[in-house]
Copies of this chain bind each other. A is one copy, B any other.
Amino acid sequence: MTKPSARTRILQAAADRFYADGISATGIDAIIADAGVAKMSLYNNFESKSGLVMAYLEQRHTEWLELYAARLASSTSALERVLAVVDAYIDHAEAGYAHGFRGCGLLNAAAELPVGEPGRAVVAGHKAQVRGFFAEHLEANGCADPQEMASHCSFVLEGAMALSGLEGNSSALRKARTLILELAGGR
């Protein structure tokens, strides 16, 4: 059981802090202290704090894709694949419960980024991809208007995520899962 690389530990520590306290409120010093790493190790692995933020955003997106792939792998119908999108969200949310659940890390990050910051594009791309997965599986499930329904499912999912984050638990997300099952199930 060898210790992970400095880069990995930095990214992990940054992810925890960024998610729990916000990006602007998290200082470099707190991250390196949590990671147990020297400051130069951070600047050798990342160009700057905002480079670290970009890596954080991309890592969260990648993590979600992996959770989604895992859910997809165990799905046996188009309807289950629609739900796989939602379940990946729930999985991702619950992975971050350690210091309190605070909703979607990517949307929270975007909330701190002014218009025009490149990080916002990463988040927008992620959400567009999620919506695309909905459309794909809804179409396979025989939905009459999969694009329209994908928007609907997307809205329900993102709204539930935001409200779940405010409440600090995943009950709204579970309710959203039921709603989306009804929306998608009733062709």
Contacts from A to B (Cβ < 8 Å):
20-22, 24-25, 99-100, 102-103, 107-116, 120, 123-124, 127, 151-152, 154-163, 165-168, 172, 175-176, 179
- Known A22-B112, A100-B115, A111-B111; contact A123-B159, beta-carbon cutoff 8 A: no
Considering the chains assembled together, what is the distance between the CA atoms of A155 and B163 in angstroms?
A: 8
Q: Is the interface of A mostly helix, strand, loop or mixed?
A: helix
Contacts of A21 on B, CB cut-off 8 Å? 114
Q: Is the CB of B166 within 8 A of A160?
A: no
Considering the chains assembled together, what is the distance between the CA atoms of A176 and B151 in angstroms?
A: 9
Contacts of A100 on B, CB cut-off 8 Å? 114-116
Q: Is the CB of B158 within 8 A of A163?
A: yes
Q: Smallest CB-CB separation from A110: which chain B residue?
A: B166
Q: Is the CB of A114 within 8 A of B22?
A: yes
